[in-house]
Amino acid sequence: MTAARVTLCFLLRDGDSGPEVLLGLKRTGFGLGKVVGIGGHVEPGETDGEAVVREVLEETGVVVRQEDLTDAGVVQFVFPARPEWNMHTSLFTARTWQGEPAESDEILPEWFRVDTLPVDRMWQDADHWLPVVLEGGRVNIVVTMDSDNEGVASSESVLPQALTPDGGPATPR
């Protein structure tokens, strides 16, 4: 399976009413009109870490350093009806960065409470893996999309079991 290399970064902070994550309304290109994680394609010669640092800066104006990234795993997206959309997505979280998120041509950033994600405005796969990542877990999951390229046909963890930082199970939904 040929898949584009992509990265996503989820900036996390403690908000007044609980933990929050930075997501963004996609204003151009793939995912237009959906609320998505911050990130994009890995350019030739870049590591995943270098790519996500660059993408976060380009899309939000926020400076995150590679040493402040936490590896949150991988999601393989399979689009049987559009194989050119297949993606190998490296996931990161960060709790330390410089600057305040600002809108760009591509993203309108917004903070959301972790316990009330706008899943109705996101890709339908998000609820299958994002809560585990935001709880501090690590995933390795293959998400196969329906023929309409919107719904999820299946999602399968390829880890023996996803774990939270305290070592407890974090089963993808």
- The pLDDT tens digits for 51-87 are 999 999 999 999 999 999 999 999 999 999 999 999 9
- Binned at pLDDT 50, 70 and 90, residue 145 comes out as confident
Q: How much is the average pLDDT of 16-38?
A: 94
Q: Where are the alpha helices (DSSP H) in the chain?
A: 48-60, 126-134
- Binned at pLDDT 50, 70 and 90, residue 161 comes out as low
Q: Please report, for residues 25, 124, 132, the alpha-carbon distance to residue 29 in angstroms, rounded to integers and kept in the order given.
A: 12, 18, 27
pTM value > 0.85: yes
CA–CA separation, 146 and 170 (whole Å): 25
Of 3.90.79.10, 3.40.30.10, 3.40.640.10, 3.40.50.1370, which CATH number belongs to 4-157?
3.90.79.10
Say what the pLDDT of residue 93 is.
98
How close are the terminal C-alpha atoms of the chain, in Å?
25
Residue in the structure block whose two tokens are 């997206």: 77
Q: Percent of the chain scored above 90 by pLDDT?
A: 76
Domain spans of the chain? 4-157
SS3 9: strand
